[in-house]
C-alpha cells in the first residue's frame, strides 16, 4: 500500500494559486460550501494518477482542467498537480522502487497536452498509471466514487455491486486471471 502524503496544485481548475495540502495518516475529510472546490480536489488526484478522459474531469477537453479565469483573474496557460507518496514499504514498481518518497507530477500546457515526471525525471503516462493501478487506487478505480455515482451503486444488482467492491479491494483482477488459467 502506498500512502499519499501531500497534494500540490497550481493553476488546476479553481485552484489558481499554488496550494500544498498535507494528507495526514488515517481518514481525511474535505468540507466547505457548494462550489468551493471539493470535487476539484478529488479530480486533481484522479488526474495526477493518469486519468485520460476529459469527461471524467467534467470537461469537454483536457485543457479545461487549466484555470479558465474569473471575474478578477485572467486565465492560466498551464496547470500542475504533484502527489507525494510514501514508498518506505518499497511496494512501487521496480523502476521507481529505489526511492523512499515518490513525487509524481503531471503538467498540462494549453494546446500542448500533458507530461508526467516522477522525482523530476520524465515518465510515460503508462508507467504512472501502472504505479497507481498496483496500489489499487488507480484513476478509474472504484475506490474513487464520483458525486452522482452513489445512487447508481445503491441501486445496482448485487452481482454488480460485488464486482465494484472487489475492484475497490484490489482483487478485481483475480477473476480475469482465473478465467485465463482455466482456458489454458
**Feature table: binding site for ATP:** 33-40
Q: How far is the CB of 78 from Mg ion (least distance, A)?
A: 24
C-alpha 3, offset from chain centre: 13
Is residue 142 involved in binding Mg ion (CB under 5 A)? no
Q: Work out which of 26, 35, 111, 151 binds ligand ATP, going by CB under 6 A.
A: 35
Backbone angles phi, psi at 16, to 5 degrees: -70, -40
Residue placing its CB nearer to ligand ATP in the complex, 64 or 100: 64
Q: Work out which of 38, 110, 117, 140 binds ligand ATP, going by CB under 6 A.
A: 38
Q: How far is the CB of 39 from Mg ion (least distance, A)?
A: 3
Chosen from ligand ATP, Mg ion, none, partner binding at 67 (C-beta under 5 to 8 Å by type): ligand ATP
H-type helices in the chain, by residue range?
38-48, 125-134, 149-155, 158-168, 173-183
Residue placing its CB nearer to ligand ATP in the complex, 45 or 92: 45
For the chain, give the number of residues. Answer: 184
Greatest distance between any 2 Cα atoms in the chain: 63
Is residue 107 involved in binding ligand ATP (CB under 6 A)? no
Contacts of 173 (CB under 8 A, 6+ apart): none
Is residue 56 involved in binding Mg ion (CB under 5 A)? no
Name the β-bridge partners of 114.
108
Q: Work out which of 39, 91, 142, 146 binds Mg ion, going by CB under 5 A.
A: 39
Distance CA 25, CA 52 (A): 28
Distance CA 175, CA 7 (A): 33
Looking only at residues 51 through 90 of this chain, which bind ligand ATP when binding is defined by CB under 6 A? 64, 66-68
Residue placing its CB nearer to Mg ion in the complex, 26 or 148: 148
- The candidate with the shortest Cα–Cα distance to 21, out of 50, 56, 1, 45, is 45
Contact 51, 106 (CB under 8 A): no
Q: Choose the stretch contacting ligand ATP; rule: CB under 6 A; options: 27-35, 46-54, 134-142, 167-175.
A: 27-35
* Annotated binding-site members: 33-40
Q: Where do contacts with ligand ATP occur on this chain (CB under 6 A)?
A: 13-14, 32, 34-40, 64, 66-68, 147
Amino acid at each position: 500500500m502506498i500512502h499519499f502524503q501531500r497534494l500540490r496544485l497550481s493553476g488546476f481548475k479553481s485552484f489558481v494559486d499554488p496550494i500544498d495540502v498535507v494528507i495526514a495518516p488515517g481518514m481525511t475529510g474535505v468540507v466547505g460550501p457548494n462550489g468551493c472546490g471539493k470535487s476539484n480536489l478529488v479530480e486533481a488526484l484522479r488526474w495526477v494518477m493518469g486519468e485520460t478522459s476529459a469527461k471524467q474531469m467534467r470537461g469537454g477537453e483536457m485543457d479545461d482542467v487549466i484555470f479558465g479565469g474569473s471575474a478578477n483573474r485572467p486565465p492560466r496557460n498551464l496547470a500542475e498537480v504533484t502527489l507525494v507518496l510514501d514508498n518506505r514499504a518499497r511496494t512501487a514498481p521496480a523502476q521507481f522502487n529505489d526511492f523512499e518518497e515518490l513525487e509524481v507530477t503531471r503538467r498540462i500546457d494549453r494546446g500542448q497536452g500533458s507530461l508526467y515526471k516522477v522525482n523530476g525525471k520524465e515518465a510515460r503516462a503508462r508507467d504512472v498509471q501502472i504505479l497507481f493501478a498496483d496500489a489499487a487506487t488507480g484513476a478509474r478505480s472504484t475506490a474513487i466514487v464520483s458525486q452522482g455515482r452513489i445512487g447508481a451503486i445503491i441501486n445496482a444488482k448485487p452481482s454488480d455491486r460485488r464486482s465494484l467492491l472487489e475492484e475497490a479491494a484490489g482483487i478485481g483482477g483475480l477473476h480475469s486471471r482465473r478465467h485465463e488459467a482455466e482456458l489454458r
